[in-house]
Amino acid sequence: MSDLFAPMRGLSLRLRLVITLLAGVAFGLGQAPFDLTGLALPALLVPFLMLSPEVCRRQAGWIGWAFGVGYFGTSLTWIVNPFQVDAATTGWMAPFALVLIAAGLAIFWAMPFWLAASSGLRWLVVPLWTLAELSRAYILTGFPWGLVGYVWTPTIGAQWAAVIGPHGLTLLTLTIAWLASEVSRTRALPLGLAAIALAIGLIGGGVYLQNRPIAPQEGTPKIVRLVQPNAPQDQKWQRDMIPVFFNRLLSFTEVGPRPDLIIWPETAMPMLLNNAEEALGVVSQSAGPVPMIVGIQREDDGRYYNSLILQDASGQTSAVYDKHHLVPFGEYMPFPDLFARINVGGLAQRAASGYSAGPGPRLLDLGPLGKALPLICYEAVFPQHAKTGGSRPDMLIQITNDAWFGTWSGPYQHLAQARMRAIEQGLPMLRSANTGVSAVIDAKGRIVDSIDLGQAGYIDVPLPAALSDTIYSRSGDVPLLVLLLGLTLVGALRARSNSH
């Protein structure tokens, strides 16, 4: 086998960066709606191949950054859509938003390459890159959209999320890619065998996890109805369109035979909860003796909340959940006084100061259906929000308004991440989206039934059964974090000893 690093050594930095950026674009095509895993995985070898031994730390940082720019610039193209809802006011921000977020997130990928080259230990890029992806879930309120490990979402490899979580999948993916690149340089048989063993284990383990038996449910299956009104964001709050969408919701709700639970999407009610008594009475009449979950906004002591309510079988509001992880620059503005001076406000905020965050996760008691953990829109992007830290729910429920994401990649990527939450926790996910994709997802992340993007309608689906606790649902990311910090410490000690 020839040394693939040999032709790399003659390349200028500019050419390296162009090739790496294009590889980042190809890796971005591994995300929904493309799902080109077979193209994305070979593309992931390129930044490792470009990190040849003679590359200095500055050049290595640029290589990691270029790969990130290509990846995020491709996978996050949907980010321009929220700015086009009111194009006359905010449309000018769209290209800047895409460029800035791609360039900014790429810094997370530049640092592992810079640090690995600084240490002289190329392998260190793998744990450092995984740490960088893990940190994206937390730093500056977090934005773990499009994690490296999600490249496996359309494959059976995604089932490993039940054991090692999405960040563990990232580590596994990067390790296989790094080993494959090293084999081309060193021709070391052990490295090649290790890469093959990991790949076989990923596929074989995925098959095993996919075939885990699900205990049959006792009694008659409970039927859940998801309602999708399909209200485009630029029409959703127009005075003449509000009754159109509201009546559409009501008409889908009152169709017989009655299900056991009805779920409306995020901000489905066109008024604040404070003023919704009459409208909720109409909703209750349409639902009959069926409990409902409804997305609504509310105000409390001058603070506004993006909320979800549970109306019980008698039509009374028995529980309220306030979204606790808000979208920066969407639902609230950091440093609002500063941005107010230049007349820039949150795209989806209700008041000048934006929404307020709720107190945190809570379970909803749905009676015979069990207990549900509610997630509102963006919260389903975060693996750490799909668990309560207390008693385990029987299902996850996500209500969302993906009309903000447009009609291309954003809604499908959001759906893919909802599927990952189901796999990680071993729980069914009930997902009601304003414009789609509404879906019932089983505990292995498989879509049981759905309503297509851009369609109005409803589906009645038996509630899928939950699996027993997954390893990841019990451990979270703590074991992985300990492993990554341990590997990083070993690398730092080896780098220090080599320098003396």
What angle is formed at CA 62 by the lines to CA 56 and CA 66, rounded to 5 degrees?
145
Q: Is 18 helix (H, G, I), strand (E, B) or coil?
A: helix
How far apart (Å, rounded) are the C-alpha atoms in residues 110 and 17? 12
| CA proximity to 441, closest of 456, 414, 419 | 419
> Cα–Cα distance between 293 and 479 in angstroms, integer?
36
**Among 133, 182, 266, 379, the one annotated catalytic:** 266
Q: What are phi and psi of 231, to 5 degrees?
A: -105, 100
First to last CA, the chain: 35
The Cα 396–Cα 413 span in angstroms is 18
Query: How many CB atoms neighbour CB 201 within 10 A?
Result: 13
Token code pair at residue 147: 């994690």
Residues 6+ apart with CB under 8 A from 418: 380, 398, 429, 431, 439, 441
For 91, the token pair is 């449309």
Q: Is 444 a catalytic residue?
A: no
- Active site includes 278? no
Tell me the three state secondary structure of residue 406: coil
Is 377 marked active-site?
yes
Catalytic residue (choose from 236, 323, 387, 444): 323
Buried b (16+ CB within 10 A) or exposed e, 79-112: bbbbbebeeeebeebbeebbeebbeebbebbbbb
Which residue's entry shows tokens 């029987």?
A: 394
CA distance linking residue 442 with residue 427, whole number of Å = 7
Contact call for residues 317 and 293 (beta carbons, < 8 A)? no
List alpha helices for 51-152, DSSP H: 57-75, 81-84, 87-90, 94-119, 125-135
Say which residues have a Cβ less than 8 Å from residue 203's Cβ, sequence separation at least 6. 156, 157
- Those residues with Cβ within 8 angstroms of residue 188's Cβ, 6 or more apart along the chain or in another chain: 182
Q: In what order do the strands lie in the sheet with 371-376?
A: 364-365, 371-376, 395-400, 429-433, 438-441, 447-451
Given the residues 133, 236, 377, 387, the one annotated as active site:
377
- Catalytic residue ranges: 266, 323, 377
